Amino acid sequence: QVQLQQSGAELVKPGTSVKLSCKASGYTFTSNHMNWIKQTTGQGLEWIGIINPGSGGTSYNVKFKGKATLTVDKSSSTAFMQLSSLTPEDSAVYYCARSPDYFDYWGQGVMVTVSS
Amino acid sequence: EIVLTQSPTTMAASPGEKVTITCRASSSVSYMYWYQQKSGASPKPWIYETSKLASGVPDRFSGSGSGTSYSFTISSMETEDAATYYCHQWSSTPWTFGGGTKLELK
């Protein structure tokens, strides 16, 4: 069965970066795009961007350009999202989600807390 | 960016009661998608392409609409349906979500 296993919770300091991972299993990793989605109490669900695991091609929500960088490692069927120059406003739960044409499978989410 | 406005933001329903949630888009979209999220869990696809039920979703759920106006209905509320429901548009990037409707059991 399809599974997206995300890395564990992160507590990071302002101004630093963090790299989140999402390991896919149960399907051909390169056959579906992978997305990252941010969830906060205040802003709800926000789509960050999408990556084609086969080509490495990406597209970002303009709001997150310069903040998020999406990559993949095909050899391990893992997608990554690096968040840079972290501020408290980046504190959120981040999900990876597969998309054929909508988000059909989601990771369990990872909580990122930005605090000094 | 297409803004999705859900209403109501919160509501409570008794077992057996009919529930309707609406989602209005700031521009026309081809389809609407709905997700269910329970506390501490990831969102789950619930309805796709406006009216198609995702795998395992009971047939007391339904969706309808077109253009800028969509709705999500539970014909008869059950205990397990208490959750937050989000609408989502896939027509135009950035893909966006509604603010959510928290449905509680009365």
pLDDT in tens, B35-58: 999 999 999 999 999 999 999 999
Residue A100's pLDDT is what? 84
**Residues A50-60: b if buried by 16+ CB within 10 A, e if exposed:** bbebeeeeeeb
**CB-CB contact of A41 with A111 (8 Å):** no
pLDDT tens for A57-68 read: 999 999 999 999
Does B39 contact chain A (CB < 8 Å)? no
3-state DSSP assignment of residue A31: helix
∠ at Cα B24 (B20, B29), nearest 5°?
Answer: 120
- Long-range contacts, stretch B59-64, CB < 8 angstroms, 24+ apart: B63/B32, B63/B34
B88 lies within 8 A of chain A by CB: yes
The pLDDT assigned to B48 comes to 97
Q: Is some CB atom of chain A closer than 8 A to the CB atom of B94?
A: yes
Instruction: Give Rg (Cα) of chain B.
Output: 13
Q: Which of A82, A108, A87 is nearest to A96 (CA)?
A: A108
pLDDT tens digit at each of 106 positions of chain B: 999 999 999 999 999 999 999 999 999 999 999 999 999 999 999 999 999 999 999 999 999 999 999 999 999 999 999 999 999 999 999 999 999 999 999 9
As a whole number of angstroms, the distance between CA A84 and CA A1 comes to 33
pLDDT for residue A43: 84
pLDDT single digits (tens) A37-53: 999 988 899 999 999 99
**Best residue in B95, B96, B101, B102 to probe A by mutation, most A CBs within 10 Å?**
B95
